[in-house]
Amino acid sequence: MRRTSALNNGTAGVSEVTPDGDPPTSTAEGVARRSAVAEEQAFLDLATARRDRLADHLQVELSSEALDALERARQRMLRQQYEELRRAREGLVFGRLDGLDGTVRHVGRVGLRNDSEDSEPLLLDWRAPAARPFYTATAVDPQGQARRRHIRTRGSAVVGVDDEPLDGAITAELVGEGALLAALDQRRTGLMSTAISTLQREQDDIIRAEATGPLIVQGGPGTGKTVVALHRVAYLLFAHRQMADQAVLVLGPSPRFLQYIAQVLPALGETGVVSATCDTLLTEIHAGRDESRLLAEIKGRALWQIALENYVTSLLPRPRELKLRWEGEFYVITAATVAHALASAVQGRPYHRARAAFAEQLHHLLAEVVVEQREALMNEMEEGFEDILARVDRGMRHDHHSRRTSTGSDIDGLLSAEEIEHLRNRIAENATIARFIEAWWPTLDAETLLGDLLTDRTLLARFAPQLSPEEITAVSAEPAPWASSDIPLLDAFADLLGEVDAPQPQGEFVADRARRQRGWVYGHVVIDEAQELSEMQWHMVLRRCPSRSITAVGDIDQAEAAHRHTSWAQAVQAAFGDRWTAAELTICYRTPREVMDLTEPVLKKAGSHNTPPRAVRSSGITPWELTITPAELADAAAQAVRQLQQRWHGGTVGVIAPADRIAELLAVLSDVPVLTATQSKGLEWDATLLIDPPGIAAEPRGWNGLYVALTRCTQELGQLILTQQAPHPGTTSPDIGRVLKDVS
């Protein structure tokens, strides 16, 4: 059992209980432990009872009928509060701060009021400013605190207490080391757990950073990037309530990853969140075709943004004289008038919104021309042109056949303001005029436009002159259906075109409405594995959050995408220029030191200039290797997985292999995930079996992929090294460093 120096009612020590929940029974230290656990159990019981009362009260209020819009809005707020309380059954209380002034504050999943509204809160919400010292106070900077206590619970029982004195001269690398390492030693379940009880200072600084612009967080394997990103969402929604009205978009690298993190934000009480991948942001489009890395790289370049803008601009109608037929007569709108109306209608609007604005102006212009021509005819009539008078009479009878009173033209032949407005409405509703506008300024479709552009080499050369002839040939040769790299291009076209009709989506929660509307503007966007985004995907993100309130986390050294970016500055230049803030996570909490020691030469092979994150824990298990022939792979992998599952019963085991080995392994490994290095990104298991590391290194950007594969385990790493000849009995397998050197 790990011991740390602690303060417990004046007694140093770590308060623990046995695995069954019973505290030790001997020595004075045991008495102190039992006392601390009993003290926190009493508080947990009090907080749980208060949580239950508040939840019951909210449930009663929610059972009443919502009568009006204001009441319905209140009902939504109460329902969110109720769901937050309901989900807070597990880990309701996890921390305590003892102030130098004698105050005691408990920290938990949610905030709980005391029965008296004007008293101190019974339980501080972890996101509240008053709770921040729980994550950031140190012995060097105690922030007014004498002690921090980590409280570990299982269900409704307190099972451990870990105290840290903050008012002495003790310094430490980590905040709450005992609680952190206890959490890291837990078995993996395949789902991401919340980590609010063990967040460290560098993580908390990022979580609570200002949301005034793009924040790009570099973090190597096991530094808690995803945990930081998701807890930042929860914090921002708590600290900036207006974000909840706009929803928060969380972008992940794959559906598997989104499933992995799916329970984290709801567990933190946040329901105003939309999760997606870049491929699923356009809900009506499905990426159904794989394509070469060359094509993916070409289509991901920022040059397409300008190319598509220019292409859509070229499709706008050109000013010319318009001759329109209205009730048997032809009316002319001059080219100069049309040019002015076009310029006014476009003014930065998307194609279809500009079209609608022009159509409205055209209805007014035609009505004005009709009125002017009729007034001119009336003037000529007064000079004695009887044939013109007859024509005017016919027009009058047509316009006023349904009128019962004599106004305007019935009296003097001139249209009144009311009659002119009626004329405009009739023009706007006229099918012939609508058909004329559709023919002159047609409705367009993003998929059709992109298909036309990508299959026409002349158009590509005109609007994307930066492409070489060979690249144009490669792009134009690709057939439908759409590939992943086409999605950002379709999104750009959809944005440039705009909606023909934009109905407001309905839904009880803001996330429901945001999910169904492509043009929704989010309050904040969080991107995980952001190093994989192409320049066009960054533009895709920016369209959904023009305020640039964006948090992107990733490891540029784990990039496996087809683009050629090797630094964050290169990756985000096209979207953000120099207007972004960098942050870094430097401590590896997940991957043991024994494994991280293997990564530095791999990073150098990948062309990185970064230092691997510093591992803070040791599993005590040296990574092992077994050299086999390809013919032995299936049996050896099955046996190795069985042994790992036995050693890590209750946890998880994952297998990572080169892409060309996956099918063979899936045939014999049905009860564990078998993934490529790319597919394993962002995941973690207790033990990893790595198949053919040199084969992974030989894949495109394979050294980056091998860096990913090596760092997925929290406890044990095993490797099967393939050789064409069976090893001689009694020989030892070469170490990974030499194997990789041989591959190079």
Is the predicted pLDDT of residue 226 greater than 80, yes or no? yes
Query: Quick one: which H or E segment has residue 149?
Result: strand 145-154
Domain ranges of the chain: 30-179, 226-279+453-498+508-588, 318-389+417-440, 614-742
Q: Beta strand 157-165 with 14-16: parallel, antiparallel or unpaired?
A: antiparallel
Residue numbers belonging to the annotated binding site = 219-226
pLDDT reported for residue 230: 81
For the record, the structure tokens of 642 come out as: 């069985």
pLDDT at 352: 96
Q: How does DSSP assign 274-327, residue by residue? A: EEE-GGGSSTT----B---HHHHHHHTSTHHHHHHHHHHHHTSPPP--EEEEET
Q: Is the model more confident about 63 or about 642?
A: 642
Q: Which of the following CATH numbers is that of domain 226-279+453-498+508-588: 2.60.120, 1.20.120, 3.40.50, 2.30.29?
A: 3.40.50
pLDDT of 192 reads 41
Percent of the chain residues topping a pLDDT of 90: 44
pLDDT of residue 570: 92
606 confidence band (pLDDT: 50, 70, 90): confident
Give the lowest-confidence range in 201-215, 375-389, 527-541, 577-591.
375-389
Question: Confidence class of residue 481 from pLDDT cuts 50, 70 and 90?
Answer: confident
Helix or strand (DSSP H, E) at 636 = helix 633-647
- Work out the mean pLDDT of the chain and round it to a whole number: 81
- Across 17-21, average pLDDT: 42
DSSP element (H, E) containing 713: strand 713-722
What confidence tier does 270 reach under pLDDT thresholds 50, 70, 90?
A: low
Does the structure show a pLDDT above 60 at 411? no
- What pLDDT score was predicted for residue 653? 97
**Res. 97: pLDDT tops 50:** yes
Task: List the strands of the sheet with 124-125, edge to edge.
Answer: 14-16, 157-165, 145-154, 93-99, 104-108, 124-125
The tokens of 121 are what?
Answer: 């809160």
Q: How far apart are CA 429 and CA 431, in angstroms?
A: 6
Whether the per-residue pLDDT at 648 is higher than 50: the answer is yes
Higher pLDDT, 262 or 240: 240
Give the integer Cα–Cα distance in Å for 331 and 243.
52
Question: Distances from the Cα of 548 to the Cαs of 44, 53, 225, 522, in angstroms?
Answer: 41, 41, 20, 10
Q: Tens digits of per-residue pLDDT, 568-585?
A: 999 999 999 999 999 999
* CATH H superfamily, domain 614-742: P-loop containing nucleotide triphosphate hydrolases (3.40.50.300)
Higher pLDDT, 384 or 317: 317
**Tens digit of each residue's pLDDT (9 = 90 or more) over 486-498:** 999 999 999 999 9
Mean pLDDT of 573-600: 92
Q: Which residue has the tokens 């040296």?
A: 622
Helix (H) or strand (E) holding 743: helix 736-743
614-742 and 226-279+453-498+508-588 share a CATH fold: yes
- DSSP H helical ranges for 347-484: 351-382, 386-399, 409-412, 417-428, 431-440, 446-454, 457-463, 469-476
- Taking only the tens place, the pLDDT of each residue in 373-394 is 887 777 766 665 556 555 556 5
Mean pLDDT computed over 343-350: 93
Q: Is 388 exposed, middle or buried (0-12, 13-18, 19+ CB in 10 A)?
A: middle
Annotated binding site for ATP: 219-226
User: What digits encode the pLDDT tens for the residues 146-190?
Assistant: 888 888 888 889 888 878 787 753 333 333 344 444 444 555 444
Mean pLDDT: which of 226-240, 412-426, 593-607 is highest?
A: 593-607
Paired tokens of 8 = 């417990």
**372 pLDDT tier (thresholds 50, 70, 90):** confident
